[in-house]
């Protein structure tokens, strides 16, 4: 099975112009994410999808292969799909690794790849972390002042998503669990080529509009989403969205060490 990793990278970020080239402790944001992707096993290739020649030139400077995609791609997912159709050898599945996901451990990405390799019938896959009681309390506290921060997911016994929500689900009527059955969603996705094409033809769905969660469009249209349970192994989750995020991420890297040597 051919599985590619595509990193969508836009130059024109409103909050951080030129974001792919932002310096993070001496290495650009894009190169750091590319290194993470390159540490994943069992993939057919890693590609940077962009519509800006400056990003493509920067990618080439450290050995990455860039694919020039149309400028009218509305989302990163659209850009990944455009890149897939421009590849000489179209993969069976693709992992969308966002270009700002600089703190995503390679083993988290690996879990998505492994889900496809273990079962070629998987249409779509994402990741989640089971919360400890402390992490659940932190999530609930976060939502008191930032209600839309953090997404949770519930699964059936086969590991497929039942629902995603900005609410903390399930509601716990009892505190008797040793570990609460609450899973925080990690926003990384893998798609079969067919599923990615199908999603592009579907209109926004009612629950997607209500929660503002794009993955609900898949569930509402009967597309199953496999959830890979992952462990960050003590690493801090995060990304770079604004200039203020850069020193925070640099401090995390200094404290926890590099994800990829």
Of the candidates 183, 135, 196, 188, the one whose C-alpha atom is nearest the C-alpha of residue 156 is 183
| Cβ partners under 8 Å of residue 210, min gap 6 | none
Please state whether the predicted TM-score (pTM) of the whole model is above 0.75.
yes
3-state secondary structure of 111: helix
Tens-digit pLDDT string for the chain (261 aa)? 999 999 999 998 888 999 999 999 999 999 999 999 999 999 999 999 999 999 999 999 999 999 999 999 989 999 999 999 999 999 999 999 999 999 999 999 999 999 999 999 999 999 999 999 999 999 999 999 999 999 999 999 999 999 999 999 999 999 899 999 999 999 999 999 999 999 999 999 999 999 999 999 999 999 999 999 999 999 999 899 999 999 999 999 999 999 998
């Amino acid at each position: 099975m051919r599985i590619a990793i595509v990193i969508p990278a836009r130059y024109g970020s409103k909050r951080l112009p030129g974001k792919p080239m932002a310096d993070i402790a001496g290495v650009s944001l894009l190169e750091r994410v590319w290194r993470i992707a390159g540490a994943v096993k069992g993939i057919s290739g890693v590609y940077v999808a962009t519509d800006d020649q400056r990003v493509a030139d920067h990618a080439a400077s450290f050995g990455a292969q860039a694919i020039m995609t149309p400028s009218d791609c509305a989302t990163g997912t659209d850009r990944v799909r455009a890149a897939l159709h421009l590849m000489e050898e179209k993969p069976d599945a693709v992992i969308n690794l966002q270009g700002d996901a600089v703190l995503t451990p390679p083993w988290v990405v690996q879990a998505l790849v492994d889900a496809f390799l273990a079962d070629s019938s998987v249409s779509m896959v994402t990741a989640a972390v089971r919360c400890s009681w402390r992490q659940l309390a932190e999530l609930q506290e976060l939502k008191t002042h930032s209600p839309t921060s953090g997404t949770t997911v519930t699964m059936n016994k086969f590991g497929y998503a039942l629902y995603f929500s900005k609410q903390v689900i399930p509601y716990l009527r009892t505190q008797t669990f040793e570990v609460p059955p609450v899973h925080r969603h990690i926003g990384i996705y893998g798609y079969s080529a067919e599923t990615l094409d199908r999603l592009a033809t579907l209109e926004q769905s009612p629950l997607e509009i209500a929660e503002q969660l794009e993955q609900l469009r898949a569930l509402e249209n009967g597309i199953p989403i496999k959830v890979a349970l992952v462990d960050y192994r003590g690493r801090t989750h995060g990304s770079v969205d604004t200039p203020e995020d850069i020193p925070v991420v640099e401090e995390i890297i200094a404290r926890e060490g590099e994800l990829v040597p």
